[in-house]
Amino acid sequence: MNELEVWRKKIDKIDLQLVGLLNERTMCAIEIGKIKITLGLDAYSPEREGEVMRNVTSNNGGPLSSAALRRLFERIIDEARSVERVYMLDQKKKPKR
């Protein structure tokens, strides 16, 4: 196996780990959605999203820039919020027992 293939295999392995972590993170968002329903809160929480951004950028050691991390996490948060909203809407439509 040449050096290029070795690095590509390493990236493939990391990509699979990222998929697992992103899905795990989204499951957490669904659980948070359950709590927000109980508390009567909206899925969108700009204060919390600001906390997440500050957390990831302040703990960034590079080589990604903080701006790059913000862009990535904006997408990650947006997709998780979308799943959370869909879950919350589905739950609100269910008849109460």
pLDDT of the chain, 97 residues: tens digit per residue: 799 999 999 999 999 999 999 999 999 999 999 999 899 998 899 999 999 999 999 999 999 999 999 999 999 999 999 999 998 888 878 777 6
Residues 6+ apart with CB under 8 A from 22: 76
Q: Are 30 and 84 in contact (CB under 8 A)?
A: yes
Residue 17 lies in domain: 3-85
Say how many domains are in the chain: 1
Residue 39 backbone phi and psi in degrees, to 5: -85, -5
| Residue 44 domain-assigned (yes or no) | yes
Confidence at residue 97, expressed as pLDDT on a 0 to 100 scale: 66
Confirm whether 31 is domain-assigned.
yes
Q: Quote the pLDDT of residue 89.
A: 86
The confidence score (pLDDT) of residue 43 equals 87
pTM reported for the whole predicted model: 0.84
91 domain residue, yes or no = no
Give me the CATH number covering residue 12: 1.20.59.10
